[in-house]
Chain A
């Protein structure tokens, strides 16, 4: 199988790796880079458990090739907390009981992280639509919606504190 060198920024670190051209990003992250936060739930882009952030967009890593990330800036759930401090979405999911089995959580967090940059002050309907590419079997979404609302407020407060 043809191998290629892929260079990318992964959670803020420059990396250079040799990968099979057919290797999916989610397998590259989980098996080659030992970042097992992104999970595989469906392999058809429906469940969103593998959602990561690539160059400012939410991407489902189960249907994206690792080689497509050459030159990209990739962030996974492992890169969400900075300098030992949890990101606002992580805090909010914890405080609002926005997770149960935890399997969808990394994808939900990465989508919420991006969504709140796309729409910093969303309505409930906008949150529900914004997260509709991520499935959860445990929570019924109600507390996930609350968590995203709470994270939005936290981020706004942080914004105004630094302004």
Chain B
């Protein structure tokens, strides 16, 4: 009996293409303990590296004694900056145009800085040996506060830069000054403020936090002295860029350097940079001719690898009396720590912070960001966000709330009044960004209806009027716009390499396929979703499409996965590569069906002769023919490569609402409701989108409600284990409600904008908005994060709130 003929809809469903909540291809190995993470890799003859770190935050190294460590059986080498100097590897360039010490050269600049490495037979011996390396320090005055760092008589932190008045991003006017970066039009903004009837200002600190992925950083470096080849498995979100840097630093030709990002246990921006540990393991492997593994522990990860944020911001809004914003001014002091090691596109030392005009039509705006050195670990990476976009969104959303309070306006109303209108897209902001698409009003009303916003405000009024109510109720509302998908190579590069991304697709004779990209998944599910794009474009079931990333010897060059760039950039490359194959497939189909291409229609998985459903060739038929009998003049095979240079960024947006109840006696807060509407344009896999949003909201909850990296006056980090650094458990984590609208990006081949970071970016100011709202009737306009119970309790006391 013949199988029943399937309808186009049924065939489409079989493909599990775009829009399908397809289960994840990567899960089978993870649920059986068969993932392969960096620390799982074991090579014959492999040695282990551990790092001697500085206990002081600022000091001169007087003496290092390796003898006792070298005497321990099983120790192969102890290396310091003096050993790296002949190779010129004691310092390395950062992605931000500065240099960073690989191993401390005469001076340490932050607590836990790398001072020496030990290579030993196993990790236990290496750990013993680092204790046996004696280092004598002469302590120097420590600078923790970036404002104090800019005082005329502040200690000189970077002696290596002394007298250097020009930095990578313009003039330096102080020995601890890195750069001052401006965007917008200061004159226009000043003029707007001069004539405005209403002005508000607010100072806020976005605390230093750490992305803290569950897997720490590490690598296995393996140099083959006979072939002269270096292979390194590395926890890297950007393996191709690492290959380029390693080649530049080591002198090994790039063709003989192979970087492999295996399974990665979360990145969140922490695994973009190049750390001394990687460089040292590579050097050790080259020197010893044996594989060397380095696995960081948690304390090292939090203390020394890239932090995020640490922005001290002063925001100013000018407005009319009825709440129309006329101007925005922002001044930021950015604490970059000891070395400027931010991972931003070269031209943007403050990332894309100038998205800080948000979702609002603000005619005049200016911002200025001043980067400063302090005795803290370097970093300043984008923790689950596009470059500094989290800081920008926090700033503008807080400022709009502050203005609403000043004018006694509702926070939804003031947003409605200032939104960029649907008809204004593409919209050019006062900072020069061209927002691709958006429909903020529709999304806002959808959320307000879903939560019955009016009823919530009535309930809040009643509770405020009731002196016996044990809680303060707060409603947070945020209407954010992100800028992601970096980016167009005319403005975005890293170390001179344009921020394009890539895809190579090969269709095999039997109609299955392999695709490789320049990105690397760290939990986003690329092996699942990328296949869905190809399935929809080419009519091949996603089940038979293999997706591979992360191996620089097989994947095309790409800039990696961070800043929500995978779908906007690599996703576009996938669609474009698939379309090249589609075009060739059409020629083959026309040849096979003996008609002209103009007589063919594409339907789900096949080319049909127009008007004749019986005459068709499926993509599987065409694939075989491509290897068997391609038409004359056409190359055999069916594959394509595409390097996609995006014409613009994408601008996902969202409307988040949070209801918090604060216990008047204890300061404990309870997130009663959190409603998150996201618009990421075209949706590829709704199940994965929801999962990404849940995760991002939870990370946002962590940042807003508990994460911080406090330092004492001596520069000791007071909380570098998971005992102290807040990672929420299932108990504290709220239950999330998600919703969506779909406003495709007009310039993206499939209309997708990227999603995984929106929930982090959008939720953080929503929590703050809710906590401040609980105190708003007392005249409170802002409370700095983190909103821990203790800090809220102190605020309750300060405001005289009685139980």
Contacts and interface: CB of A to CB of B under 8 A. Distances in A.
A61 interface: no
Nearest to A46: B722
B40 A100 contact: no
Q: Max chain A CB contacts within 10 Å: which of B31, B40, B122?
A: B31
Contacts of A44: 298, 721-723
Interface stretch (B442-450, B641-649, B727-735): B727-735
- Judged by DSSP, the binding face of B is loop
Q: Which secondary structure dominates where chain A touches chain B? A: loop
B33 interface: yes
Given A47-B722, A104-B214, A137-B268, A76 B691 contact: no
A94 B28 contact: yes
B124 A142 contact: no
Given A135-B214, A135-B729, A86 B268 contact: no
Nearest to A124: B735
A99 B30 contact: yes
A131 B733 CA distance: 12
A43 interface: yes
A57 to B, nearest CB: 19
Interface in B517-569: 522-525
Contacts of B736: 140, 142
B42 A95 contact: no
A34 B727 contact: no
B215 A101 contact: yes
Interface in B89-141: 122-124
Contacts of B687: 97
Interface in B696-748: 696-699, 721-723, 727, 729-731, 733, 735-736
A80 to B, nearest CB: 8
A35 B42 CA distance: 12
B39 interface: yes
Nearest to B735: A142
B104 to A, nearest CB: 25
A70 to B, nearest CB: 20
A76 B37 CA distance: 17
A51 to B, nearest CB: 12
Given A20-B124, A135-B722, A41 B214 contact: yes
Contact of B523 (A39, A81, A138): A138
B32 A145 contact: no
A42 B722 contact: yes
B721 A102 contact: no
B69 to A, nearest CB: 17
Given A39-B215, A42-B721, A44-B721, A109 B298 contact: no
Given A78-B33, A135-B729, A139-B691, A93 B27 contact: yes
B33 A103 contact: no
Q: Which of B30, B122, B690 has the most CB of A within 10 A?
A: B30
Contacts, number: 179
Nearest to A107: B214
A23 interface: yes
Contacts of B488: none
Contacts of B39: 30, 36, 39-40
Interface string A79-102: 011000010001001110101111
B730 A131 contact: yes
A47 B30 contact: no
A138 B32 CA distance: 18
A139 B124 contact: no
Interface string B27-62: 111111111110110100000000000000000000
Contacts of B124: 1, 20, 22-23
A95 to B, nearest CB: 7
A88 B295 CA distance: 33
Given A34-B42, A99-B30, A39 B37 contact: yes
Given A43-B297, A81-B32, A94-B24, A138 B721 contact: no
Most interface-central of A78, A99, A142 (chain B CB within 10 A): A142
B730 A41 contact: no
B695 interface: yes
A36 B523 contact: no
Nearest to B41: A36
Given A93-B27, A102-B26, A105-B30, A137 B213 contact: yes
B265 interface: yes
Output the residue of A44, A103, A145 with the most chain B CB within 10 A. A103
Contact of A128 (B31, B694, B730): B730
A90 B27 CA distance: 9
B400 interface: no
B264 interface: yes
B266 interface: yes
Interface in A50-78: 76-78
A95 B23 contact: yes
B688 interface: yes
A135 B215 CA distance: 11
Interface string B14-28: 000000000110111
Interface string B373-393: 000000000000000000000
B263 interface: yes
B212 interface: yes
B649 to A, nearest CB: 25
A13 interface: no
Nearest to A109: B31
Contacts of A134: 729-730
A38 B34 CA distance: 10
A131 B729 CA distance: 8
A154 B39 CA distance: 34
A37 B730 contact: no
Given A131-B730, A143-B691, A103 B265 contact: yes
A77 B28 CA distance: 13
A152 interface: no
Nearest to A125: B731
Contacts of A129: 730-731
A60 B28 CA distance: 23
Nearest to A37: B33
A129 B727 CA distance: 15
Contacts of B698: 139-141
A10 interface: no
B33 A77 contact: yes
A144 interface: yes
B23 A136 contact: no
A137 B699 contact: yes
Interface string B207-249: 0000011111000000000000000000000000000000000
Given A20-B124, A43-B297, A140-B694, A77 B32 contact: yes
A127 interface: yes
A109 B29 CA distance: 13
A101 B730 contact: no
Contact of B727 (A35, A95, A135, A144): A135
Nearest to B34: A37
A142 B214 contact: no
A102 B523 CA distance: 7
Minimum-distance CB pairs A-B, first 9: A37-B33, A103-B265, A102-B30, A101-B523, A140-B694, A140-B698, A100-B523, A46-B722, A77-B33
8 contacts: A22-B124, A40-B295, A100-B266, A100-B524, A128-B733, A131-B730, A136-B214, A144-B730
Given A37-B33, A41-B722, A42-B721, 18 more contacts: A35-B33, A41-B298, A42-B722, A43-B298, A44-B721, A78-B32, A80-B32, A94-B31, A95-B23, A100-B266, A102-B35, A103-B265, A106-B33, A132-B729, A133-B729, A137-B268, A137-B699, A141-B698
